């Protein structure tokens, strides 16, 4: 029994000595094994194990010098640090792999590189392993340390430097909350960027549920994003609660990087708001800004669904420009039945370079995205359009179908309203629209032509159209349906009425005594559209002196017409020509000529109200 006790006592002494002296014998043993397995020079001045105040295992290293992989950047070592500390989480037992709650790097540099074929330069025990990651880092802290990440699958090359903020950077209270200065620069998909931020001593990378105080900016060329708030778990679906501001002379290039289909037009952008969210979704509230000449306010929310994501936007504008809104909507052809975008630029799954769960290039697969948009603009302007007001739009994009449940805009005392659908996934695209016009002042539509001809009145009507095609030209060329319109309470100058009626005596009298406005008893048209060609079913313009009917066609796609007007004087007069008027050419400025009189076209309009399609 006494012999057994001596053996146990001796064993205990050996264990105590081994633990006490581990920093001298553990480092060369581990370094030798890693050097042999990796085929690289590995040196550790000291290594030992301890326990944290929260009873978590801690691995501590001193004097780290490890050569880079043969295929990696030969100008850099893989690691050259004064020290490194890894605090292991007890989650390691559950997940059956090392889970590092906190990694601390001090005084030196680390170079992490991942090739497209799956090779990682940080794998020392199995350097040729291209499989999933073997360990995970939840948080990291740098103390005068530089971390370089070169990730070929993400086309990302970034170098981050962490240092303590100097006394002159801010007041003491702020330095206590954000003691670390982060400076980074790099390239992503060929675009250079820089990052400058003040933050807490440790950054949470993933799965901690914790956010830390941060203030700083990201700049790429002339584009800049400012952030002030708290951010955590930054590697995958960041946890954010911060004020942000974004400015850019043109967002087209940046949007292309993020997979957002914006038109590549130069539109200066300025946005600011409160961004909050996590992996379940993000909301940009209290949004204010400008997109080109359009001011915007409201809220934008992105929600992650089980299989489909949802983008919901409720925006208002005091003054909006149609060209800006078209560039915001984008113009690229959608080639699948569901609209898709890159799931999140903030979810590149770059956890592998910092020892995350998987070292594979898990760039986010494109996920179906549904869009809901509500937009209201007090004033709306566009090139060649009269001033519009009170615009409203409600639209959704889901399963490759754009559905405009309501659009409305005002012109003077009149309104234009309707709805539309567009099947983006069809080949070719298919669309339909219904538009109702009520009491539009025709003077606003015709401009100077209305003033010259003393034309006035309220235009009302309806259009029901369908079309198919992969471009605007193709859609117009395939348009089919019916368009009807009529004018109420209208006038026309006596001179224009006489000219249209080919009544020479009345023309001379109007020239000598001056043209006067006379009432339009009827002005209406019904057009049947087939394959982009509008054939006039009924056209009548009637005053107390003249009734004019017409027939012909309008080429919708090419904006041309071929129309014959046949006037009929209601009272005998001098120098009345028994002819018809042929209008031919561009819709806005057709040429005209007198031709042999055509038979009067039928005019089956009652009460000067258009036939409903």
- Whole-number pLDDT of residue 350: 31
The mean per-residue pLDDT over the stretch 535-544 comes to 92
First to last CA, the chain: 111
% pLDDT > 90, the chain: 52
Short-list 480, 438, 428, CA closest to 458: 438
Cα–Cα dist 350/137, whole Å: 11
- Whole-number pLDDT of residue 611: 42
3-state SS assignment for residue 516: coil
Q: Convert 76-98 into a string of H (helix), E (strand) and C (coil).
A: CCCEEEEEEEEEECCHHHHHCCC
Residue 589 contacts by C-beta under 8 Å, 6 or more apart in sequence? none
- Whole-number pLDDT of residue 330: 54
Average pLDDT, the chain: 83
Q: What's the pTM value of the predicted model, to 2 decimals?
A: 0.76
In a domain, 509, yes or no: yes
Tell me the residue range of the domain where 529 lies. 426-559+568-578
- Whole-number pLDDT of residue 608: 57
Q: Is the pLDDT of residue 18 over 50?
A: no
- Whole-number pLDDT of residue 27: 87
Domain count, the chain: 1
* Cis status, amide bond into 118, omega within 30 of 0: no
Cα–Cα dist 48/50, whole Å: 7
In a domain, 34, yes or no: no
In a domain, 386, yes or no: no
Q: Convert 237-295 into a string of H (helix), E (strand) and C (coil).
A: CCEEEEEEEEEECCCHHHHHHHCCCCCCCCCCEEEEEEEEEECCEEEEEEEEEEECCEE
Taking only the tens place, the pLDDT of each residue in 382-392 is 877 788 899 99
- Whole-number pLDDT of residue 8: 47
- Whole-number pLDDT of residue 23: 64
- Whole-number pLDDT of residue 365: 52
In a domain, 308, yes or no: no
In a domain, 478, yes or no: yes
In a domain, 1, yes or no: no
The mean per-residue pLDDT over the stretch 265-294 comes to 90
In a domain, 532, yes or no: yes
- Whole-number pLDDT of residue 513: 81
In a domain, 65, yes or no: no
Which of 148-152, 261-265, 308-312, 434-438 has the least mean pLDDT? 261-265
Short-list 168, 341, 346, CA closest to 244: 346
- Say if residues 506 and 477 touch (Cβ distance below 8 Å): no
User: Helical H runs in 488-533?
Assistant: 494-500, 504-513
Rounded to the nearest 5 degrees, what angle is found at the Cα of 521, between the Cα atoms of 515 and 522? Answer: 115
Taking only the tens place, the pLDDT of each residue in 317-342 is 999 988 887 766 654 444 433 333 32
- Whole-number pLDDT of residue 116: 92
The mean per-residue pLDDT over the stretch 459-470 comes to 93
Which of 342-351, 368-377, 399-408 has the least mean pLDDT? 342-351
Short-list 135, 124, 152, 145, CA closest to 67: 124
């Amino acid at each position: 029994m006494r012999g057994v006790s001596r053996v146990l006592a001796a064993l205990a002494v050996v264990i105590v000595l081994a633990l006490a002296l581990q920093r001298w014998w553990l480092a060369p043993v581990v370094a030798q094994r890693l050097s042999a397995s990796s085929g690289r020079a590995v040196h550790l001045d000291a290594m030992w194990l301890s326990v944290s105040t929260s009873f978590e295992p801690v691995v501590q290293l001193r004097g780290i010098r490890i050569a880079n992989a043969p295929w990696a950047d030969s100008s850099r070592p893989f690691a050259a640090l004064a020290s490194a500390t890894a605090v292991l989480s007890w989650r390691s037992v559950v997940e059956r792999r090392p889970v590092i709650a906190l990694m601390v790097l001090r005084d030196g540099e680390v170079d992490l590189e991942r090739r497209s074929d799956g090779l990682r330069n940080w794998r020392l025990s199995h350097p040729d392993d291209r499989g999933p990651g073997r360990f995970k880092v939840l948080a990291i802290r740098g103390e005068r340390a530089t971390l370089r990440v070169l990730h070929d699958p993400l086309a990302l090359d970034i170098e981050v430097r962490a240092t303590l903020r100097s006394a002159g950077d801010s007041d003491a209270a702020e330095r206590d909350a954000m003691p670390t200065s982060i400076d980074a620069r790099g390239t992503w998909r060929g675009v250079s960027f820089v990052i400058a931020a003040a933050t807490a001593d440790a950054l949470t990378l993933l799965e901690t549920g914790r956010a830390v105080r941060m203030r700083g900016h990201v700049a790429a060329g002339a584009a800049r994003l400012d952030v002030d708030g708290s951010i955590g778990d930054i590697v995958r679906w960041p946890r954010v609660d911060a004020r942000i501001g974004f400015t850019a002379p043109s967002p087209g290039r940046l949007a292309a990087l993020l997979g957002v289909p914006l038109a590549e037009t130069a539109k200066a952008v300025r946005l600011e708001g409160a961004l909050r969210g996590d992996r379940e979704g993000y909301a940009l509230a209290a949004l204010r800004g400008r997109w080109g000449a359009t001011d915007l306010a409201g809220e934008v929310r992105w929600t992650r669904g089980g299989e489909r994501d949802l983008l919901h936007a409720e925006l208002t504008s005091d003054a909006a420009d149609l060209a800006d809104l078209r560039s915001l909507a984008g113009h690229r052809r959608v080639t699948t039945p569901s609209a898709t975008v890159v799931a999140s630029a903030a979810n590149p799954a770059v956890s592998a370079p910092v020892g995350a769960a998987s070292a594979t290039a898990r760039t986010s697969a494109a996920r179906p995205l549904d869009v809901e948009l509500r937009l209201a603009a007090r004033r709306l302007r566009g090139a060649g359009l009269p001033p519009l007001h009170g615009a409203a739009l409600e639209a959704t994009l889901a399963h490759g179908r754009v559905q405009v449940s309501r659009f409305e805009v005002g012109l003077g005392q009149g309104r234009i309203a309707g709805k539309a659908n567009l099947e983006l996934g069809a080949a070719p695209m298919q669309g339909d629209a219904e538009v109702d016009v009520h009491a539009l002042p025709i003077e606003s539509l015709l401009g100077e032509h209305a003033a010259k001809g003393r034309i006035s009145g309220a235009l009302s009507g309806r259009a029901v159209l369908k079309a198919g095609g992969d471009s605007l030209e193709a859609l117009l060329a395939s348009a089919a349906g019916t368009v009807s319109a009529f004018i109420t309470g209208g006038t026309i100058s006596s001179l224009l009425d006489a000219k249209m009626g080919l009544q020479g005596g009345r023309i001379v009298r109007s020239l000598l005594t001056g043209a006067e406005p006379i009432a339009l008893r009827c002005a209406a048209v019904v057009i049947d559209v087939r394959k982009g060609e509008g054939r006039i079913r009924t056209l009548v313009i009637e005053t107390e002196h003249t009734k004019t009917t017409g027939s012909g066609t309008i080429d919708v796609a090419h904006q041309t017409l071929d129309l014959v007007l046949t006037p009929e004087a209601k009272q005998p007069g001098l120098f009345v020509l028994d002819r018809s008027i042929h209008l031919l050419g561009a819709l806005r400025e057709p040429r005209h000529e007198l031709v042999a009189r055509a038979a009067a076209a039928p005019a089956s309009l009652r009460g000067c109200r258009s036939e409903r399609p």
